Structure 1
């Protein structure tokens, strides 16, 4: 061999040797020369983090790593967990280094050290945790690290995703670096909307109405009168008692109840006018409470009527929880909710102590398609850019549409808002849905693209899928989405566990199809099918879909349809009732309806929805005719005189939205539309009280002797809003749906 080539080979060998020497080889062929060392004064949290590191390294390499205290270490090479160098690190900072053959995994606090362990496993060893019990841990007998000198300080320091995946699985929360609960360090019984807890109307209102809000010419227990000195003293006493009962708690909420019925007495109004916002009296009041507890944090809401910042600065120990509930979720907040963005900037000029309360799900329909996933990153970046270090992303807590995907992506973006969004979407779908990933991903991208085709669409937290049946959930698109999920299931048909994940993912579209069928959108999307003789029977496709939907929910412990407590079982039972109703002979179907009182806003204010054959669901958006502050009075013209012996009509209740069952329902009949006789009056079988079911449907059914009639009149008086309701002083609603006459 020529001498020149000998020199080249020798040079390459030296170079490779040098490169190899720069590596830190933690394991080789399933063996290790390393031990994991924690400091002798380490907390339990740090010790457990060291144990988790050892556990993962063994799973990856097959090598067993001893975990020892600093004073018990041997002559082995080291993986130090904790700030053994006593470096000056910020509280939330993590640092990962290789140096002289050793590995240092440390943080500025115990929690940061734990985060550093999981960051090392993920960033440098490619470990992924997608959901509780669903992870990708690589296998490599040799773990060899290139030189590392990595430091990261998360800009959002308290990260909460309101998801039971984290609350019920603390290790998963640790892996994704989010909190175990919605309100960490808060007094448990005083987290939000606390006025009624400090001063229950049952205790104070009758003798001291002056403690409460003046609305018009009447004091109502909707909110407190914040300029009343006695109210201040009572609240301060309550706060003191709660802190005494929970000495380890650091934060307590002194915040408005969940309504906008704030006090308008002359004294409160004068303060609010001077401050330019109803937040004026709130901050003045909360500041006085906070001064009495300088070692604690007093949290309050910048929410609805208090969202606009006043001129008054909050005390240093006042935490402003700024809420984005009104915002359109079809685009980033900065694009479609400029008022909130302005308020965020305004509060930022008054205080650095801001907690963001953001919303990421549709609370009236947890399981409905809600294409807001692309807004998660820009919204989190907006909060970060305005120095919000505490962000609470209110997901549904209970399972909702694409629950695992949303929980994962939100947590990851809170840790690092600058991650590549599409890469993150691919990472999760590939890991969680495996071979079905391309189809699930195509669905996610397609439905978001379709929403963007309708720039004026308001994607509302309290909306309904029926609002989108003319856009991103139109019948043709529903077919395409169903086909994608069919293909996804087929792709993993030999993997029952993954099939179940796909079934969970498709529940949103299955729900949308069920609701579209309830509205009889097309021949296929309908509750019934007719035979050659025109006899109606239940659509077997819809019945099967409802059965599959219910079974998937049951198999995965999915119990709630919305935040009002409407259960999946109730949804199924209600839907079955709708199917039975739909196939009943109905002399009123398609017949003309005239309303004698004025409906408002919903169902296009068209009384014909009462005879269109489409049936309303649990949300007032879905085919319900609404009357605000006045009774419903309608007349149905059957077209000719005929024998009638039964009438049935459905009414909706959503108490937190001031929708109540009517106090009674009267049915009257006539042959000439002038002279009506009473057929019967039905009292509300579930009179409104504080324990009334929040979300419910009630059928008012009347049977009577066959009577010849042409016109049927229905009168349904609204139930007035009671003084104890959060909307006291406001008109209530009556919502009615299909009238069935036989």
Structure 2
């Protein structure tokens, strides 16, 4: 037995010794026999990559290596070559890392590839991790040894963009994650997307030349351009030429539809679209003519909404198709719940290899709300990769949003390698960034994603609202469980203030969801008001604490926006505190019957009782608002009996980019018998709709009058028609109202 044990130990020792001989030791006990060698004609970018390598080897092993050119390298030193020292013929995006005779070669087919190769070496072989700007994990060791390497990799997605200010404002972090520094690299700055109105501005041409614009019904409207008008084509070509001349370093310009679906339906345009089988027919024919005039440039256009379905005509080789997935349900992979988009992607792939994907990864109406789509990121990116999309733009919120750092990190990693283990990737980040709190946050992520998967009918929409999920993955008992997980996470890092702040930022999503649940009064626990010891209604202490923490965490971390419409955290806080004041007011209309004389549509289950249910609408039209499309709002509130009243107030919502406008005026009138109504007064909109109007707003239309006996109160809100200059010109607008207060 002892003899067998000795043989095993000797064999193990020989094995370990042989491994040690094969290893390349860069640093040993604070010393190194290596220097970093560049080609004699190395670019500034390659010098920068060498400096990066030097910096991190010093951080890991506490040794500063020299950087030299090949012609001046030291003969008795081992070498780490940065750059294509062997002058191999490589594709521009391919990276290679090799060891030969104890030398290390880190190179690629371009300067960008060399930079990527350096970070790949530092990450995969030296164990460096970069979780967020300024948050890195560097293994400190007196010995840096690596096993033999023969690694090559060509990323299939060659232009990788994550729309996050973490990358745009921190270029080193973008380099570490191998994504672009900006949203539209190589584009003309003034012409990145939705450019028709820039090339042929309505202010300049509409009055004199309405024929340049889209025919909608019997009227020309400046919503889109008439793409069969030869003069329009020439104006666009001239504009493109002028912009390229202004920005000679740019190689890409967008010639693309404006952000609406009101395309031209004139006979010429309609005939082409019918022949092509899609409104993208006129678009591609038009853009192709522009592209032929600029053969050395790339003309980008959109396959978006009405142009998403591919035509029969092939785009020119220098036309970049930007295919957008805005309509898709984000609760599951695109291939499962957005098959029309997947089909269109395949269709465009038959016409061109020049495809850019514009994908979406956050809820634009509620940046900070829980949005359980993380496990769809990988299959979606794989779908794009598998269909030959070389350029992927993942439109995150740009500004801080739910799990902002985690999403930015995970998305960038998947763009570089779509086949990573997503679960391990999430563990890596949560453990590294949130440290001891990581397991609790990972458990939260897994739980909320499990719960949405259990609700197969839920449509997770980019323009949705947490209120839609209060019977699904945000139901009260789950909100409580999520909050408990974050309580545990905070306890775990209570001794680490910096990490605690990261956990509080991660918690903002659940705190926001609970605040919105309380605004809607979904349970006695999740409500704005509770009974105190004297059985009087008072502000829910949980709400006061959550709102205070929410505001303080947001302000401390420079989180300023709640949604893409520019609704700020400060405005949210002000609006919420106003809601608390309103909730405390006596209200003779609370719970009373409401009859609508005009027809509401779609939202709030079309139930007029939403106006008196004591649940207050938020900044999104999904959040407890009664909507009227293309008609005026007219309702009657029955107070049940005649009562003395002297004030009435009703809130209205504005979201101009979604064609939701404040009413032009509101009229209140009163009756005893529900037959004869006496006017009480009119309130004109104090801020009539203009191009510069606030995009997202909530205003109460308040009226005070001499006390009088009233049983029935009628409210008439006049719809504001969509103006000709609005992107939805020709379409009906909405009026949204909520919570009438009568005293």
TM class, shorter-chain normalised? over 0.9
Question: For 1:89-104, what aligned pairs fall within 5 Å after superposition?
Answer: 89-104=90-105
SS for the counterpart of 1:143 is: strand
For residue 668 of structure 1, report the CA deviation from its aligned partner.
Answer: 0.4
Deviation digits for residues 445-470 of structure 1 (CA, Å, limit 9, x no counterpart) = 00000001100110000000000000
Alpha-carbon distance between aligned partners in 2 of 1:624 and 1:8, rounded to the nearest angstrom: 76
Alpha-carbon distance between aligned partners in 2 of 1:3 and 1:526, rounded to the nearest angstrom: 76
Question: For 1:497-536, what aligned pairs fall within 5 Å after superposition?
Answer: 497-531=498-532, 535-536=536-537
586 and 11 in structure 1: CA distance in 2 versus 1, 3 angstrom threshold: closer
Q: Which residue of 2 aligns with 1:32?
A: 32
631 and 77 in structure 1: CA distance in 2 versus 1, 3 angstrom threshold: same
Q: Does 1:117 align with 2:102?
A: no
Q: Does 1:691 align with 2:687?
A: no
215 and 17 in structure 1: CA distance in 2 versus 1, 3 angstrom threshold: same
Alpha-carbon distance between aligned partners in 2 of 1:463 and 1:63, rounded to the nearest angstrom: 53
Are 1:368 and 1:465, in contact at CA under 8 Å, matched by a contact in 2?
yes
Q: Which residue of 2 aligns with 1:405?
A: 406
SS for the counterpart of 1:144 is: strand
For residue 21 of structure 1, report the CA deviation from its aligned partner.
Answer: 2.9
Q: Which residue of 1 aligns with 2:73?
A: 73
SS for the counterpart of 2:191 is: coil
Q: Which residue of 1 aligns with 2:217?
A: 216
Alpha-carbon distance between aligned partners in 2 of 1:111 and 1:647, rounded to the nearest angstrom: 64
Q: Which residue of 2 aligns with 1:173?
A: 174
For residue 11 of structure 1, report the CA deviation from its aligned partner.
Answer: 8.5
Q: Which residue of 1 aligns with 2:62?
A: 62
SS for the counterpart of 1:125 is: coil
Q: Which residue of 2 aligns with 1:722?
A: 723
SS for the counterpart of 2:123 is: helix
For residue 485 of structure 1, report the CA deviation from its aligned partner.
Answer: 0.4
SS for the counterpart of 1:708 is: strand
Q: Which residue of 1 aligns with 2:108?
A: 107
Deviates more, 1:42-51 or 1:386-395: 42-51
- What are the ranges of 5 or more consecutive residues in structure 2 without an aligned counterpart? none
Alpha-carbon distance between aligned partners in 1 of 2:510 and 2:61, rounded to the nearest angstrom: 42
Q: Which residue of 2 aligns with 1:711?
A: 712
6 and 136 in structure 1: CA distance in 2 versus 1, 3 angstrom threshold: closer
Question: For 1:323-472, what aligned pairs fall within 5 Å after superposition?
Answer: 323-472=324-473
SS for the counterpart of 1:449 is: helix
Alpha-carbon distance between aligned partners in 1 of 2:35 and 2:533, rounded to the nearest angstrom: 79
Are 1:156 and 1:391, in contact at CA under 8 Å, matched by a contact in 2?
yes
Q: Which residue of 1 aligns with 2:577?
A: 576
Q: Which residue of 1 aligns with 2:21?
A: 21
Are 1:721 and 1:730, in contact at CA under 8 Å, matched by a contact in 2?
yes
Are 1:538 and 1:580, in contact at CA under 8 Å, matched by a contact in 2?
no
Q: Which residue of 2 aligns with 1:660?
A: 661
41 and 620 in structure 1: CA distance in 2 versus 1, 3 angstrom threshold: same
Q: Which residue of 1 aligns with 2:621?
A: 620
Alpha-carbon distance between aligned partners in 1 of 2:20 and 2:626, rounded to the nearest angstrom: 75
SS for the counterpart of 2:680 is: strand
Deviates more, 1:39-48 or 1:428-437: 39-48
Q: Does 1:477 align with 2:478?
A: yes
Alpha-carbon distance between aligned partners in 1 of 2:92 and 2:530, rounded to the nearest angstrom: 65
Alpha-carbon distance between aligned partners in 1 of 2:404 and 2:322, rounded to the nearest angstrom: 25
230 and 33 in structure 1: CA distance in 2 versus 1, 3 angstrom threshold: same
Are 1:665 and 1:683, in contact at CA under 8 Å, matched by a contact in 2?
yes
Deviates more, 1:486-495 or 1:535-544: 535-544
209 and 12 in structure 1: CA distance in 2 versus 1, 3 angstrom threshold: closer
SS for the counterpart of 2:500 is: helix
For residue 17 of structure 1, report the CA deviation from its aligned partner.
Answer: 5.1
713 and 98 in structure 1: CA distance in 2 versus 1, 3 angstrom threshold: same
For residue 140 of structure 1, report the CA deviation from its aligned partner.
Answer: 1.2
Are 1:433 and 1:501, in contact at CA under 8 Å, matched by a contact in 2?
yes
Deviation digits for residues 338-382 of structure 1 (CA, Å, limit 9, x no counterpart) = 000000000000000000000000000000000000000000000
Deviation digits for residues 37-91 of structure 1 (CA, Å, limit 9, x no counterpart) = 1112111111111111111011111112111122221121100000101112111
For residue 10 of structure 1, report the CA deviation from its aligned partner.
Answer: 9.2
Alpha-carbon distance between aligned partners in 2 of 1:328 and 1:29, rounded to the nearest angstrom: 55
Q: Does 1:255 align with 2:236?
A: no
Supply the RMSD in Å over aligned alpha carbons.
1.6
SS for the counterpart of 2:207 is: coil
For residue 530 of structure 1, report the CA deviation from its aligned partner.
Answer: 3.0
Deviates more, 1:179-188 or 1:14-23: 14-23
For residue 245 of structure 1, report the CA deviation from its aligned partner.
Answer: 0.2
Q: Which residue of 1 aligns with 2:43?
A: 43
Alpha-carbon distance between aligned partners in 2 of 1:201 and 1:10, rounded to the nearest angstrom: 85
Q: Which residue of 2 aligns with 1:601?
A: 602
532 and 436 in structure 1: CA distance in 2 versus 1, 3 angstrom threshold: closer
Q: Which residue of 1 aligns with 2:275?
A: 274
Deviates more, 1:85-94 or 1:254-263: 85-94
Question: For 1:539-558, what aligned pairs fall within 5 Å after superposition?
Answer: 539-558=540-559
For residue 115 of structure 1, report the CA deviation from its aligned partner.
Answer: 0.2
Alpha-carbon distance between aligned partners in 1 of 2:9 and 2:214, rounded to the nearest angstrom: 88
Alpha-carbon distance between aligned partners in 1 of 2:5 and 2:288, rounded to the nearest angstrom: 81
For residue 20 of structure 1, report the CA deviation from its aligned partner.
Answer: 3.0
SS for the counterpart of 1:711 is: strand
SS for the counterpart of 1:84 is: coil
Question: For 1:103-182, what aligned pairs fall within 5 Å after superposition?
Answer: 103-182=104-183
- What are the ranges of 5 or more consecutive residues in structure 1 without an aligned counterpart? none
For residue 637 of structure 1, report the CA deviation from its aligned partner.
Answer: 0.5
For residue 528 of structure 1, report the CA deviation from its aligned partner.
Answer: 1.1
Alpha-carbon distance between aligned partners in 2 of 1:651 and 1:457, rounded to the nearest angstrom: 28
For residue 12 of structure 1, report the CA deviation from its aligned partner.
Answer: 7.8
For residue 681 of structure 1, report the CA deviation from its aligned partner.
Answer: 0.3
Q: Give TM-score, length-normalised by structure 1.
A: 0.98
11 and 685 in structure 1: CA distance in 2 versus 1, 3 angstrom threshold: closer
Deviates more, 1:184-193 or 1:31-40: 31-40
Deviation digits for residues 230-250 of structure 1 (CA, Å, limit 9, x no counterpart) = 000000000000000000000
Alpha-carbon distance between aligned partners in 2 of 1:104 and 1:593, rounded to the nearest angstrom: 77
Deviation digits for residues 559-601 of structure 1 (CA, Å, limit 9, x no counterpart) = 0000000000000000000000000000000000000000000
Are 1:37 and 1:80, in contact at CA under 8 Å, matched by a contact in 2?
yes
SS for the counterpart of 1:68 is: strand
